[in-house]
Chains A and B, each alone.
Chain A
Amino acid sequence: MDSDYRLTERPGLGMATIMARKGIQPAVIGAVLGFLPPDGPERAADARLALIGTGPGTWLALAETPEADWVTQLANKLNGLASVSDQSGSYVVLRIAGSGARETLQRGVFIDLHPAVFRSGSAATTVIEHIGVVLWQLDDVPTFEIATFRSFASNIRHWFELAAAS
């Protein structure tokens, strides 16, 4: 097995849940944000903000370099269009990159990560060893990121240690 991958943590990201108000289409939100939010399990981004589709009309938003009040700003921008909840503390985001990243993740993730099926820009809400994760692919290195609830993070780190060992 190819176990050549690097695992790094991504502290300091700004994160939020965006849920569209009733009857508001993604395009309307996109018009405000400047890019079209994905209408499915995918990732779309501009230089400052990434949106990951986690459900109908629901996105996980990630800001690379968040200002202190970025969630308030986002909520104000989307006032009347979407509900916004700060989740910056909720998740630990791990980056898995390298030729062995896919094979390693596949041991934990029971969705098909074959490049013909799950590619750069794909996203999924799934589980690794009974622990909920949001997973997305950034590029064809391949580089993946997973967001897992902070209280579960030690379990996920432990799983990576075991997956790497075997």
Chain B
Amino acid sequence: MSRLSFGGLIDRAQPLNFTFDGMKHAGFAGDTLASALIANGVKLVGRSFKYHRPRGILTAGSEEPNALVTLRSGARAEPNTRATTVQLFEGLEAKSQNRWPTLSVDVMALNQVFAPILVAGFYYKTFMWPAKYWEKLYEPIIRRAAGLGQLSMEPDPDSYERAHGFCDLLVIGAGPSGLIAAVTAARAGLRVIIADGDWVLGGRLCSERHVINEAAAGKWVDDTVAELRATPNVTLLSRTQIFGAYDGCEYGALEQVSDHLGNIPPGKSRQRFWKIIAGRTILATGAIERPLVFGGNDKPGVMTASAAATYVNRFAAVPGRRAVVFTTTDSGWSAAEDLMSAGVQLAAVVDPRTDSQPPAAARLRQAGIEILSGAALTDVHGRTVRSVDVLLKDGSRRRISADLVLMSGGWNPSIGLGSNLGDRPVWSDLVHSFVLNTAPPGMKATGAAAGHFSLSGSLADGVRAAEETLRELGRTSAVAPAPLAGDEPSASSPPWYSRGHRSKAFVDFQNDVTDADVSLAAREGFVSIEHLKRYTTLGMATDQGKTSQLNGHAVLAAATGKSIAEAGTIMSRPPYLPVAIGALAGHHQNTAFRPERRTASHEWARERGATFVDAGLWKRAQWFAHPGERDWLQTVSREVSMTRSGVGICDVSTLGKIDVHGPDAGILLDRLYINMFSTLPVGRARYGVMLREDGFVMDDGTTARLGEDRFYVTTTTLNAAKIMQHIDYARQVLWPELDVQATSVTEQWSTYSVAGPLSRPLLQMLLPDLDLSNDSFAFMAAIELRWRNLPARLSRLSFSGELAYEISVPASHGEMLVRALFTAGDAFHAVPYGTEALGVMRIEKGHPAGNEINGQTTAADLAMGRMMSKKKDYIGRAMAERPALSDTNRPSLVGVRPLGGARLRAGAHLLPQGRDPLAANDQGYITSAAYSPSRGQWIGLALLQGGAARHGELVTVHDPVRGPDFAAEICDPVFVDPEGVRVRG
């Protein structure tokens, strides 16, 4: 065991059992999986992506590139989980990844032998010729070798929820500067949300040994957190990672509600996805320590100095017995002291700097620690660290035995969120890293994220950021000064890397990019930072280059002779850390994937055995099968025949319905439709067609005039919202001078089509006082009336071609109406019919629908050219007159009937007889097809070149996917009652 018997933020009274690759271990409450593994002496944790090199734990934070494990098992297995951020729980189960058969013996490690050819751009250079192997050979090979971890392939058993937050100030990060900024703003009365990914707040104060106000820093953290929790205007979110900054001061956040629990209680969600609108934002995300680039810097036992200090100070877990510290920063020396206090033997401290050394150097020297200044660590030996080579100031090399290497190469402000909206960070010579240039609106960085690395500096900066925010928001309250803290040395040297190394030196640990890869890319001309990234994959792994990016840029700068400032850096996109898709989906899973709209007759239809079909979001009855029916075709044919011979009833409530009112309503409709509406008498309805601005047909439907200034427009189901928008655009933007109002009443009216020769007597039973005779209620009549003291609407419209009516009542009473219709309909053997029979009857009548009004057809194409008024202007008129749109040889609507009993299918192409099935001979295609019970054969509608003049011609129906060619006759698209006797009957 490598656990100290004292100190740390762990609860030794609460031991927790866990397994790693099946081995049983124990840790304590307060551990991360990584700290528990360290305390159990586990060094080898994973295998690298490309070379399958053994890897250990590099960091103690969410930037971890190496220690990625699969957490939990079965459906809950989560690959690529960072061991450094997983809070240990009883029974935790973790497995290493990217190895076979075991972690210690990994066959794919053979890749290292081929390392000389597995260089940057290997795939691009290798899998090029012959091209025919791309899909069949190369891609499968690459896919098999690539990727980290494996999905369970089982449905996600967890639930996810959503929350919305609003605040005057969002503080991202609860380290010293974040806490002081939040509490300062909260005291002045701002609504504050403060979020931190960790479950313990305090940031670096949990990992380092500091004094604030003459007490251990932990006390200040506890007091401040307690004050924040007690303030009602503060929302304190721990375990919550802000992962993205978006337009409009919107932030995305993920709260890990139950990830730290062994078993998620039933009904409790796993994670909560927050959308937060913040008036102002303080980015207090701290800084991430840079590794150093030297040979074998990826081996288990090499970690960042700050990580080692964190394991010792926060978790009382000691990562090694004998350490070499390789640092170019003052903070590396502090870490060395921390380890020494924890009983780790310091073999040497290596610092390439010769000009200055922090006070810690003198203390360590006094304690007899060897200090090698002007020297550099070049290579690490052993599978896990056994010894290191140091290139001394005088040019000689020395081997030093050690089982732990601490490296400290400087600090990168953690400003990823700050560049989410497209601001490119700029180089700062002061902090030797990139800092925010211009932050997103309302955001300011503070503390280490702004390059203030000393504790006192970062506290003072947190107060300053809060003060500035208060001033911007017009608050003038006095602000307490920052608490008293030490001003520890925090100097560092510019990014530095050792050229004297003999073994592989890694820049990007997770994607296995070495300094040689970066140099090679530069030699091959990939000298732009953006090209370098994509060519070498530097920074493109799941850690998004949090530890690697800057070192890569430094190597590139060195290789191209530029300064880092000139080489520049990349921008960061959300998410800052990986987010499970399930968390973004929330409740929208399976059938709740999208909302579902139900008509008023839904429950009734279900009772009658309806099969439902999706029409946009609507569920519509597709057909009503009877027991014993062979298939849907038999059902639908029965519904059609019974309607045509008796009476059928269909719910048509999903059609779009719009009240267009006002003195200028008629004028507006004249401008929207190709035909006239201002002349429509009150009490009558008319069929109308609308064009798009480009002259093609947009939508069709009937419009009734219910009063001098009241029109009732209907649209197709799928275009309901689009036409409402179109009308609003026309009356608000195109012609604001018109006095016309429009509102959707689609949801108001539950409408049933009652069709067939017996529709009149059936309706008469519901409306005994209304004269439904032809004389008083002719075809296309439309009135308002009352039914059972409810407002109702009745019109004599027909889509089926039969004598038919549409009756509407408020949707709240739509179920009552459908039941009443069928009670009355019993005597007439009324049949419910669904959308399929509706479709068959409209094809039999040659009415165009969505298949024909497909955005490529003109009114003339659909045999409605004569409706286009010459007496008025309307949307689309000018463009419809373009020569190509009025060419008589355009494909136009025809009917098709096969010779013999062949089955027509929509999508089949029409060729002149005897011609080869080539695209050049293609003259059109079948848009809609149905079996017509009325004609006893399959029939179809088609768009055929010059179709209107070709009735009677024989063509070849060519359907290469679904069957052999056959002959068919082109005919009039109206197959049933072409004279229209029945609708007027």
Contact = CB atoms under 8 A, between A and B. Distances in A.
B809 interface: yes
B937 interface: no
B791 interface: yes
Contacts of B747: 87, 89-91, 149-151
A110 to B, nearest CB: 5
B598 A151 contact: yes
A163 B159 CA distance: 11
A129 B277 CA distance: 17
B654 to A, nearest CB: 8
Contacts of B659: 17, 83, 85
Contacts of B812: 11, 88-89, 150
Contacts of B770: none
Contact of B811 (A17, A90, A108): A90
A58 B789 CA distance: 28
Interface stretch (B162-170, B223-231, B292-300): B162-170
Contacts of B588: 129-130
Contacts of B809: 89
Given A19-B743, A88-B810, A152 B595 contact: yes
A86 B268 contact: no
Interface stretch (A28-36, A43-51, A153-161): A153-161
Interface in B174-221: 191
B53 to A, nearest CB: 43
Given A22-B739, A89-B810, A107 B164 contact: yes
> Interface residues of B toward A: which range?
35 or more
Given A85-B745, A154-B598, A155-B595, A112 B166 contact: yes
Contacts of A114: 166, 191
A68 B412 CA distance: 72
A17 B741 CA distance: 11
B163 A106 contact: yes
Given A151-B747, A154-B596, A83 B661 contact: yes
B464 to A, nearest CB: 27
A85 B793 CA distance: 13
B268 A71 contact: no
Interface string B776-817: 000000000010011100000000000000000111111000
A21 B598 contact: no
Chain A binding site: helix, strand, loop or mixed by DSSP? Answer: mixed
Contacts of A110: 164, 275
B745 A21 contact: no
B809 to A, nearest CB: 7
B519 to A, nearest CB: 49
B267 A86 contact: no
B461 interface: no
A138 interface: no
A131 interface: yes
Interface string A129-140: 111000000000
Most buried by A among B588, B747, B749: B747
A40 B906 CA distance: 51
B600 interface: yes
A110 B747 CA distance: 24
A150 B600 contact: yes
Interface string B586-606: 111000101111111000000
B162 A89 contact: no
Nearest to B786: A68
A108 B813 CA distance: 29
A90 B159 CA distance: 32
B163 to A, nearest CB: 5
Contacts of A117: 166
Most buried by A among B164, B191, B588, B749: B164
A83 B662 contact: yes
B331 interface: no
B748 interface: yes
B716 interface: no
Given A83-B659, A166-B269, A71 B791 contact: yes
Most buried by B among A90, A110, A149, A154: A90
Given A85-B661, A89-B811, A130 B595 contact: yes
Interface in B32-70: none
A166 to B, nearest CB: 5
A91 B659 CA distance: 16
Contacts of B618: 151
A130 B809 CA distance: 27
A38 B743 CA distance: 19
Contacts of B814: 89
Contacts of A152: 595, 597
Interface string A2-36: 00000000010000010111110000000000000
Contacts of B748: 85-90
A91 B811 CA distance: 9
B418 to A, nearest CB: 24
Contacts of B836: none
B753 interface: no
Nearest to B164: A110
A161 B821 CA distance: 35
Interface in B714-768: 738-739, 741-743, 745, 747-750
Interface string A70-110: 01000000000011111111110000000000000011111
Contacts of B159: 162, 166
B515 interface: no
A61 to B, nearest CB: 12
Nearest to A159: B587
Given A17-B743, A19-B741, A89-B811, 7 more contacts: A22-B662, A23-B739, A83-B661, A85-B661, A89-B750, A159-B587, A166-B269
Interface of B: 159, 161-164, 166, 191, 267-269, 275, 277, 586-588, 592, 594-600, 618, 659, 661-663, 709-710, 738-739, 741-743, 745, 747-750, 786, 789-791, 809-814
18 contacts: A11-B812, A19-B661, A68-B786, A71-B791, A83-B709, A89-B812, A90-B810, A117-B166, A129-B587, A130-B588, A130-B594, A150-B600, A151-B597, A151-B618, A152-B595, A154-B598, A158-B592, A166-B268
Interface of A: 11, 17, 19-23, 58, 68-69, 71, 82-91, 106-110, 112, 114, 117, 129-131, 149-152, 154-155, 158-159, 162-163, 165-166
Name the 8 nearest CB pairs between A and B, nearest first.
Answer: A89-B810, A83-B661, A22-B739, A90-B747, A151-B597, A19-B741, A89-B811, A112-B166
